Amino acid sequence: MELEKITTQSKLPQKRRFEDACGLAHGLDLVGERWALLVIRELLLGPRRFSDLRAALPGLSANVLTQRLTELEERHIVERLRLPPPANVQVYGLTPWGKEAEELVLAMAKWAYRSPGHDRMLPLNSTAMMLSFKINLDAQAAGDMALRIGFLIDGTPYRARVEGGVFHVETGEAVAPDLAYEGTARGLARRFYGKAPLDQLTESGMLRAQGDAALEQRFVALFALPSRYEPAERGSTPTA
């Protein structure tokens, strides 16, 4: 016997939601879909084009990206912008509130860095690397140090500064920086988190730097990955 399509549904397919006033549940309704937070991450440092996003997120297919961008736009997290001529291209950027998601993104990344299962030597893209500086700057060590840094990573320019123990960064050319780096995200990771000597990285073509060498060393010393969580041995000794 055939069953007829029961269309009790009102109209919209009514996306699956957590029906809950809890902020967390609503947050998951907003950005809980696969890839959503990674798309937001890619936009945190400045607007990007569709194809930039695809290139930055291999594994994310075009149709899914379209869907995520549409959803994020409907939710007022992302907005579609058209750059004025002569560029005249469409880009996606974060709304002011969308930018506030940075805290959330950094909090998750910071937490996950301590995961026992985190493989720190996987490939990394330039946005992820730049954001990692925000997380891993040692504010104590930075003290009142203030400097401007330019980066050209995998072809993308970033201007950054350290000020008041905080690392700021956005896409764009730096003007008269104190230090300038050029190379790959992986090269940066080796330098800042692996503490590899700069000349070794330069030899292998991964990273070049301009500026005072002593300053560069002091700058590198400001960053360190958080310690990893060591799970206790499971000895069936639970605390009451």
Residues forming contacts to a copy of itself in the complex (CB under 8 A) are: 18-28, 30-32, 34, 37-38, 41, 59, 70, 73-76, 79, 81-84, 95-97, 100-101, 103-105, 107-125, 128, 131-132, 135, 189, 229, 231-232, 234, 236, 238-240
Report DSSP letters for 40-64, one per residue: HHHHTTS-B-HHHHHHHSTT--HHH
CA 57 to chain CA mean position, Å: 11
Q: Please report how close the Cβ of residue 63 comes to DNA at its closest, in angstroms.
A: 4
Torsion region of 92: left, alpha or beta (phi above 0 gives left; psi -120 to 50 gives alpha):
beta
Strand, helix or coil for residue 152: strand
Q: Please report how close the Cβ of residue 68 comes to a copy of itself at its closest, in angstroms.
A: 13
Q: Please report how close the Cβ of residue 9 comes to DNA at its closest, in angstroms.
A: 7
- The two beta strands, 78-82 and 147-153, are unpaired
Q: How far is CA 179 from CA 53, 111, 182, in A?
A: 28, 29, 10
Paired strand residues for 159:
150, 170
Among a copy of itself, DNA, none, what binds residue 170 when CB lies within 5 to 8 Å by partner kind? none
Angle of CA points 128, 134, 138, to nearest 5°:
130
Among DNA, a copy of itself, none, what binds residue 154 when CB lies within 5 to 8 Å by partner kind? none
35: how many CB neighbours lie within 10 A of its CB? 17
Among DNA, a copy of itself, none, what binds residue 69 when CB lies within 5 to 8 Å by partner kind? DNA
Among a copy of itself, DNA, none, what binds residue 50 when CB lies within 5 to 8 Å by partner kind? DNA
Q: Are 138 and 167 in contact (CB under 8 A)?
A: no
Among DNA, a copy of itself, none, what binds residue 200 when CB lies within 5 to 8 Å by partner kind? none
Nearer to DNA, 73 or 102 (CB): 73
Q: Please report how close the Cβ of residue 30 comes to a copy of itself at its closest, in angstroms.
A: 6
Nearer to a copy of itself, 162 or 185 (CB): 185
Nearer to a copy of itself, 49 or 110 (CB): 110
> Phi and psi dihedrals of 227, rounded to 5?
-70, 155
Among DNA, a copy of itself, none, what binds residue 15 when CB lies within 5 to 8 Å by partner kind? DNA
Nearer to a copy of itself, 115 or 200 (CB): 115
Footprint on this chain of DNA (rule: CB under 7 A)? 13, 15-16, 33-35, 49-52, 59-64, 66-67, 69, 89-90
Burial class (CB in 10 A: 0-12, 13-18, 19+), 23: exposed
